[in-house]
Amino acid sequence: MKDYYYFLGISHDASEEDIKKAYRKLSLKYHPDKNGNDDFFADRFREIQEAYEVLTDSVRKKAYDQNLESHQKNFRYNLPPLIKTFTANKIHAKKGEEIIINWQTHNADVVKVLPFGLEKAYGERIFKITEFRDGKFQILLHATNSLLHKTVVRGITITEVFENDTEKFRNNVEDLFKSQRRTVANPHGQPKIMRIFLAVVLLILAIYFLVKSFN
Torsion of CA 71, 73, 77, 83, to 10 degrees: -10
* pLDDT tens per residue across span 144-172: 887 778 899 999 999 998 765 555 556 56
Residue 111: DSSP 8-state: E
pLDDT at position 2 over 90: no
Confidence of residue 23 (pLDDT cuts 50, 70, 90): very high
* pLDDT tens per residue across span 61-113: 999 988 887 776 666 557 889 999 999 999 999 888 999 999 999 988 889 89
Find out whether 150 and 113 touch, Cβ atoms under 8 Å: no
pLDDT score of 31: 85
Assign 84 to helix, strand or coil. strand
pLDDT score of 92: 93
Report if pTM > 0.75: no
* pLDDT tens per residue across span 44-54: 888 899 999 99
Average pLDDT of the residues in 189-202: 75
Where helices occur in 96-191 by DSSP H, the ranges are 165-177
For the chain, the domains span: 4-74, 82-160, 165-214
Q: How far apart are CA 90 and CA 93, in angstroms?
A: 7
Assign 186 to helix, strand or coil. coil
Those residues with Cβ within 8 angstroms of residue 99's Cβ, 6 or more apart along the chain or in another chain: 88, 89, 90, 93, 126, 127, 128, 129, 158
In degrees and rounded to multiples of 5, residue 181 shows phi and psi of -65, 140
The burial of 195, by beta-carbon neighbours within 10 Å (0-12 exposed, 13-18 middle, 19 or more buried), is given as middle
Sign of CA dihedral 79, 121, 117, 135: positive
More confident residue, 129 or 34: 129
Those residues with Cβ within 8 angstroms of residue 123's Cβ, 6 or more apart along the chain or in another chain: 102, 103
pLDDT score of 33: 83
pLDDT score of 162: 77
pLDDT at position 180 over 70: no
pLDDT score of 164: 59
Beta bridge partners of 164: none
Question: Is there a shared CATH topology between the 4-74 domain and the 82-160 domain?
Answer: no
Average pLDDT of the residues in 36-47: 79
Output the CATH code of domain 82-160. Answer: 2.60.40
Give the residue among 164, 161, 142 at the shortest CA–CA distance from 152. Answer: 142
Output the CATH code of domain 4-74. Answer: 1.10.287.110
